[in-house]
Amino acid sequence: MAPSMWSNFPRALALVASLACFNTAQGSDEALWPLQTYKSSSIKTPYMNVTKMGQTEPGYLFFAPQDILRGTGHPSIYSDDGQLVWQGANGNQSALQPQMLDGEPVIAYWEGYNGEGFGFGHISILNSSYDEIHRVTLDCKEQSFVTIFDPMTFSSCIDIHESQITENGTILVTAVNVTQADLSSVGGPKHGWIQDGIIYEIDIKTNEILFRWSAYEHVDEVPMTYDIAPFGASGAGTGTNKTDPWGYPHLNSIAKYEEHYLVSSRYMCSIFWIASDGSIDWHLHGRTGGDFNLTLDTSFCYQHDVRIEAQSADSVTLGLHNNDNTEFTGSSSFTTGMVIELELQGSKKVTLKRRMWDAGDPVFAQSQGSYQGLGNDHVLQDHGAVPKIEEYDENGATVMRAWFGYSDSMMQTYRAYRYPWTGRPSTKPDVVACPSGENTAVYVSWNGATDVDSWKVYSGSQVKKTAQRSGFETTILVSGLSKGEDVTVEAVGGDGDGTRSASARVGVNC
Ligand SMILES: *[C@@H]1O[C@H](CO)[C@@H](O)[C@H](O)[C@H]1NC(C)=O
Ligand SMILES: *[C@@H]1O[C@H](CO)[C@@H](O)[C@H](O)[C@H]1NC(C)=O
Ligand SMILES: *[C@@H]1O[C@H](CO)[C@@H](O)[C@H](O)[C@H]1NC(C)=O
Ligand SMILES: *[C@@H]1O[C@H](CO)[C@@H](O)[C@H](O)[C@H]1NC(C)=O
Ligand SMILES: *[C@@H]1O[C@H](CO)[C@@H](O)[C@H](O)[C@H]1NC(C)=O
Ligand SMILES: *[C@@H]1O[C@H](CO)[C@@H](O)[C@H](O)[C@H]1NC(C)=O
Ligand SMILES: *[C@@H]1O[C@H](CO)[C@@H](O)[C@H](O)[C@H]1NC(C)=O
C-alpha cells in the first residue's frame, strides 16, 4: 500500500479494525513496532528509541501514541531515556497537553470518536494523581451540531485539535459543524457542504460557553478563496453532500492573549488575530501574505501549533510547526520549526528568525505535529504522522531524536510536549515475585510515580533487600525467600515515600 494512503491519521484510524484482521489473517506482524511489556503490570507501550547528541532541557515527554495497526491509544509520559513513566486508559486521544490550572500542574487531552480529520468528543483534565478532575463538554444537541456520521449521535462535540487552558481557568477548543455553503467562488457546487470551523472558550468548572466564533459566519472576512485544499484531497472532502463536506477552514490551534485569539487554519495556510467582537485585526497567509509582505523563506503552509513567542506594539514573533508537505504539493518538503517576526506597521515585513529541523534525519510528515519553545532557546518538535520527537538547542542543532514507531504513519501522536512533573499516583506500587534459580526476582513498578529513589523488599517486617529504582519496572534479585511466601515492596524517597504495595506471593502470577 502506498504510504500516501495512510497520510491522514483519522482516516487511517477508521481502518484499524479491517487492518487488524488483515494482519491476523496473514499471521504476520512484521510491520508492528515492538511494544515494551512488564512482569508487574499488564501495560504495553511502544519502545522509544532515544538518541542524544547534546544536553536537553529538563522535564518529561508527554504525548498520546496512537497505534493504528493494533487499534490502541494511550495518554502517556516518558522520560528522556526512553522509559515509560505513566500510561493512562486506552482510547482515541488527541491534543494532549500538560499545563497549569489554578496554579496546579494538570494534563488535558481530547478523547472521543474521530474520523476524516476531525472528531467529536470531550476534554479530560487530570491532576498529578492522574484522576480526572474535570471533563469539559460541548452539548451537541443544545448547539445544534450537524455531523457526518448519521445516524450515530454524540453527547459532546469538541473537535480533536486543541485543549489550551488560559490563565483564567477557561479552555480553548475547536469544533466542526457540517453546514451548507455556496462553493462556486472556489469552483465547487453552488449547493455545497463544508466543515465549518468554530472556536470556543469554555469555563472549565461550569462548561459555560464564554466565546464562540465560526469561520463561516465571518465568510466575508474569511473568504473560501484563502483555502488551498483541493476538493477531495485527503481530509478535505468533495463538498458535494452532507457526508463528504469540504475542509473549510480546518482550524488546528488557538491561543488567547488578553482579549485576542490567535487562530491557525491548516487548509487556509493562515493565521488570524481575532478580537473579542469576532472581527479580524490581522491575517497572515503563508502563501500570499494576506495583510503582510512575505518573502520566499517565510512562506509556510498546513502549519500547526502557532504560539506567540514575543510581542511589542510594533511587532509580534510567532513559533510554529511548518508542515508544508502534502500529497498535492508533491510530498517533497521536509517539516521544519519556524520562528517568524511580523512587522505590524509600515512595510508589514515578515522576517525569518529561526528554522529548525533534524538535518541528519529529516522528516517528511504529511499531517499533525507540534512546536514548543523551551528554556535556553531550545525547541521541541513532534512530527505527528511520523512518530518522531526532536529537540534542538539554541543554535538549531539537534540534541535529541526519539522514535517510537516506524516512519510509515502506523504509530502517531498529534502533539508532544516537554514539561516538568511530579506524579502522585493514587494507586499502590505493583509487585510480582518469581523464582529465579536460587533466588527470587521481585518485579516492581508504580504507574505514574516520578521520584522514587529506591525500593525496599519486605518479608513480614524484615527488610530483605533495598535496590535503586531503574526505569518503569525495577527487577530486584532477593535471596532467602521461599515459594508461597508473601513479600511487599515500599517506595523510598520522593512524594510517595513509605507507600507499600499489596503483598505478592512468591511464584504467583509469574
Ligand atoms: C475511535 O475512533 C474510531 C473511528 O476512527 C472508532 O471506530 C472507535 O470506536 C473510536 N473509539 C472510541 C473509544 O471512541
Ligand atoms: C533503535 O536504535 C538502535 C540504535 O540505533 C537500533 O539498532 C535499533 O534497530 C532501533 N530500533 C528500532 C525498533 O528501530
Ligand atoms: C486529584 O484528584 C483526586 C480526586 O479529586 C483527589 O483525591 C486527589 O487528592 C487529587 N490529587 C492531587 C495531587 O491533588
Ligand atoms: C450547525 O449548522 C446547522 C445547519 O446550518 C445550524 O443550524 C447549527 O446552528 C450549526 N451549529 C453550530 C454549533 O454552529
Ligand atoms: C457523497 O459524495 C461522495 C463523493 O462524491 C460519494 O462518494 C458519496 O457516496 C456521497 N454520499 C452520499 C450519501 O451521497
Ligand atoms: C484574564 O482575566 C483578566 C482579568 O479579567 C484579563 O485582564 C485577562 O486579559 C484575561 N486573560 C485571558 C487570556 O483571557
Ligand atoms: C510591502 O512592501 C512594499 C515595499 O516595501 C510596500 O510598498 C507595500 O506597501 C508593502 N505591502 C504591505 C501590505 O504593507
Q: Is residue 64 part of a domain?
A: no
pLDDT value at 186 more than 80: yes
pLDDT at 30: 55
Q: Is residue 141 part of a domain?
A: no
Query: 336 pLDDT exceeds 80?
Result: yes
103-107, 339-343, 480-484: which has the minimum mean pLDDT?
Answer: 480-484
Give the contacts of 396 (CB within 8 A, at least 6 positions apart).
354, 355, 356
Give the model's pLDDT for residue 329. 78
201 inside domain: no
Share of the chain above pLDDT 90, in %: 90
Residue 436 belongs to domain spanning: 430-505
**pLDDT reported for residue 330:** 76
Query: What mean pLDDT do residues 251-270 have?
Result: 98
Task: Indicate the range of 10-14, 162-166, 418-422 predicted with least confidence.
Answer: 10-14
CA of 424 to the centre of ligand 3 (A): 9
The pLDDT value recorded for residue 332 is 85
Question: Which of 149, 180, 234, 244 most suits a substitution to test ligand 5, by most atoms within 8 Å of the C-beta?
Answer: 244
pLDDT at 100 over 50: yes
How remote is the CA of residue 161 from the centroid of ligand 5, in Å? Answer: 25
Is the shortest distance between the CB of 49 and ligand 6 below 6 Å? Answer: no
Is residue 483 a part of any domain in this protein? yes
| pLDDT at position 90 over 80 | yes
- pLDDT on residue 290: 98
Rounded to whole angstroms, the Cα distance separating 354 from 64 reads 28
- Domain-embedded: residue 435: yes
Query: Is residue 436 one of the residues assigned to a domain?
Result: yes
> Over the stretch 372-429, which tens digit does the pLDDT of each residue have?
999 999 999 999 999 999 999 999 999 999 999 999 899 999 999 999 999 999 999 9
Residue with CA nearest ligand 7 atom 10:
347
Average pLDDT of 126-133? 98
pLDDT at 59: 98
How many angstroms is it from 112 CA to the middle of ligand 1?
7
CA distance 107 to 231: 37
What residues does 310 pair with on adjacent strands? 317
Which grid coordinates belong to 125?
483534565
Our answer on whether the CB atom of 462 is closer than 6 Å to any ligand 7 atom is no
Instruction: Look at the chain and report how many structural domains it folds into.
Output: 1
CA of 343 from ligand 7 middle (Å) equals 11
Sign of CA dihedral 334, 340, 343, 344: positive
- Find the 238 Cα to ligand 4 centroid distance in Å: 20
> What is the CB neighbour count within 10 angstroms for residue 196?
22
For residue 445, give the CATH number of its domain.
2.60.40.10
Average confidence (pLDDT) over 154-181:
98
pTM of the complete model: 0.94
Assigned domain for 441 exists? yes
For residue 245, cis peptide bond before it (omega within 30 degrees of 0): no
Q: Is the CB of 454 under 6 A from ligand 5?
A: no
Q: Is residue 495 part of a domain?
A: yes
Is residue 25 very low, low, confident or very high in pLDDT (cuts 50, 70, 90)? very low
Residue nearest to atom 9 of ligand 3 (CA): 129
